[in-house]
Amino acid sequence: MTATQFIWTLIKIAIMVGFVLNLAGILTWADRRQSAMIQHRIGPNRAVIKVFGKEIRVLGLLHTAADGIKFFTKEDFMPPNADRLLFIMAPMVAMGTVFALLAAIPFGDTVCLHEFKLHWPNIFVGDAVPRYGTCAFDAKNGYSPIELTVAPLGVGILFIFAMAGQGIIGAAIAGWSSDNKFSLMGALRAASQMVSYEVTLGMSLIGAMMIYNTVRLDDMVRWQGENAWGIFVQPLAFFLFFAASVAENKRIPFDLPEAESELVSGYFTEYAGMKFGMFYFAEYAEIVTGSMLIVTIFLGGWALPFFHRDGLTIAFGTMRLLYAPVAHVWMTVLGVLVFFTKVVVVCWVQCFVRWSLPRFRYDQLMKLGWKLLLPASLANIMLTGVVWLAFDQAGAGVAGGLKLAADVTQGLVAAVVTILVLVGVVRFLGPVKHQRTLLGSSAEQAAKRGGTKTEAMQA
């Protein structure tokens, strides 16, 4: 590894870890704030700082900072009969496996160092790279292509599943080592739930791998950029993967291992201080990494409709409507921003899911995984194989039609995103309106049944 490659590796680690840490912290605030908006209440607003006699609340963001301070300052309690080694290791395993997943997730296209330059003072002018192919290694000038993945592994998605499976160990040993029956029950629930839904998680991606013809995540994104996003070619797999991902993260409505009404706090009931904080933070970090995988495999990754390595190309089939070359440096920056923006949106959607659905019973949870999601994922594999084989043998005419259909989906995505952005800007700049809807009252229901009867009070 050269010095340049080592520096780029440190930069990539800092970008991915910094993004996950910051977004996970913001998600703890978003859960509280969004739940308050959905339930029409104030939400977090008590934590304040005083500046020149004025109280500043920053929309409740100070609650997240207060939580961090409490995690570091609270007593580090350990049950007297706990297994000391495993009790200490459990939160490390739970949090470490989440961050290990970041190594194989690409957050941008390959950087061609010999083209990654700005023309000062006109920084908006630069050289575009070819749309197809890869960057060439320039031994004379010491340039080599830099992939925006911490560890660009050839196994790709297989590494993701190998590391994600280790998260079960953290929950299992946390419950077993605590010497608490509620913790043990939560650990058993967590282990059986995560094992069950990992099967669906893996099976739902086989159809996508058949279409992309690769297990490398960056190649999956490039296929989607040149054709159609995975949500259009594998719609059933997208919903299956999303549901299984929420279950793997143990979030509502799949939070049975931590069900407060039944198990206090589940497998981390006996944890306090920063050890509890690591479990708490790992859950939100899992949301971010799961959203990254959804974006990479089904939502085009860093790709944006009609934007390619060489710039903007609006085309439908063989008809090109517009071509505008864009410098490589700006295409790279745009791709990174697009990827992280998509991740934020998917995380936001998961917050809506948490505060919109009731918790399953445990038998319903297992039946959903084994009797509905798993058979649906197997059916998706068979259907994908039959359809793909039929299209592969259909001839050039059908291939051209599929390419046109793929371009139409890109145009549809571009139109929908543009409309949503415009609507969001208009609603954000407009006045806030609070409207209550009365669904009914006890007096109204009693009036419909002939009113209430009052009798004389008796001693």
Is pLDDT larger for residue 445 or for residue 368? 368
| Spatial distance between the Cα atoms of 371 and 239, rounded to a whole number of angstroms | 16
Lowest-pLDDT range of 26-35, 203-212, 236-245, 283-292: 26-35
The reply to whether omega before 91 is within 30° of 0 (cis) is no
Backbone torsion region of residue 345, taken as left when φ is above 0, otherwise alpha when ψ lies between -120 and 50, otherwise beta:
alpha
- Does 295 have pLDDT greater than 90? yes
Question: CA nearest 347: which of 22, 11, 14, 12?
Answer: 22
Q: What mean pLDDT do residues 413-417 have?
A: 88
Band of residue 270 on the pLDDT scale cut at 50, 70, 90: confident
d(CA 459, CA 457): 7
Rounded distance between C-alpha atoms, residue 14 and residue 378, angstroms: 39
Indicate the domain borders of the chain: 3-394+408-420
As to burial, measured by CB atoms within 10 angstroms (0-12 exposed, 13-18 middle, 19+ buried), residue 99 is middle
Burial of 377 (0-12, 13-18, 19+ CB in 10 A): buried
Look at 80 and 336; give whichever has higher pLDDT.
336
**For residue 51, pLDDT beyond 90:** no
Q: Which pLDDT score, from 0 to 100, does residue 182 have?
A: 81
- Report DSSP state, residue 101: G
For position 114, what pLDDT does the model report?
Answer: 63
| CB 288 within 8 Å of CB 24 | yes
Examine the pLDDT at 330 and tell me if it is beyond 80.
yes
Q: Which residues of 319-330 are buried (b: 16+ CB within 10 A; e: fewer)?
A: eeeeeeebbbbb
Contacts of 412 (CB under 8 A, 6+ apart): none
Is 79 in a helix, a strand, or coil?
A: coil
Distance CA 250, CA 186 (A): 11
pLDDT score recorded for residue 378 = 92
pLDDT the model gives residue 116 = 59
Strands 49-51 and 319-325, sheet pairing:
unpaired
Residue 163's SS3 state is: helix
**Cα(389)–Cα(398) distance, rounded to whole angstroms?**
12
Q: Taking a C-beta distance cutoff of 8 angstroms, is the pair 4, 142 a contact?
A: yes
More confident residue, 109 or 453: 109
Q: What is the mean pLDDT of residues 75-86?
A: 81
Predicted confidence at residue 323, as pLDDT, reads: 83
C-alpha span between 72 and 89 (Å, rounded)? 18
Task: Give the pair of three-digit tokens for residue 145.
Answer: 């292509």
pLDDT in tens, 6-30: 888 888 889 998 898 888 888 888 8
Comparing 263 with 95, the larger pLDDT belongs to 95
- Report whether pLDDT(312) > 60: yes
* Residue 167, Cβ density class (10 Å: 0-12 exposed, 13-18 middle, ≥19 buried): buried
Length in residues, the chain: 459
The two tokens of residue 217 are: 């995540």
The answer for residues whose C-beta is within 8 angstroms of residue 323's C-beta and 6 or more apart is: 311, 312, 313, 314
Q: How confident is the model over 182-194, as pLDDT tens digits?
A: 888 888 888 888 8
pLDDT of residue 341: 92
> What pLDDT was estimated at residue 441?
67
Residues 335-363: tens digit of each pLDDT: 899 999 999 999 888 888 887 777 788 78
What pLDDT digit, counting tens, does each position of 141-199 carry?
A: 556 778 888 888 888 888 888 887 777 888 888 888 888 888 888 888 888 888 888 88
Q: Using CA atoms, how far apart are residues 404 and 99, in angstroms rounded to an integer? A: 39
8 A C-beta contact, residue 71 and residue 274: yes
What's the pLDDT score for residue 356?
79
Percent of the chain topping pLDDT 70: 89
What pLDDT shows up at residue 309?
82
Residue 456 to residues 131, 443, 453, 459: CA-CA distances in angstroms? Answer: 88, 20, 10, 10
**Per-residue pLDDT at 115:** 60
Give the pLDDT band of residue 294 (cuts 50, 70, 90): very high
Give the closest residue to 301 by CA, choosing from 243, 341, 329: 341
Q: In whole angstroms, what is the distance from residue 354 CA to residue 406 CA?
A: 33
pLDDT at position 457: 56
Report the chain's mean pLDDT, rounded to a whole number. 81
What is the rounded CA–CA span in Å between residue 386 and residue 409? 22
pLDDT at 236: 92
pLDDT at 59: 74
- Would you state the structure tokens that stand for residue 169, as one six-digit string? 């160990």
- Whole-model pTM: value is 0.83
E strand or H helix at 307: strand 307-308
Residue 215: its pLDDT value, please?
87
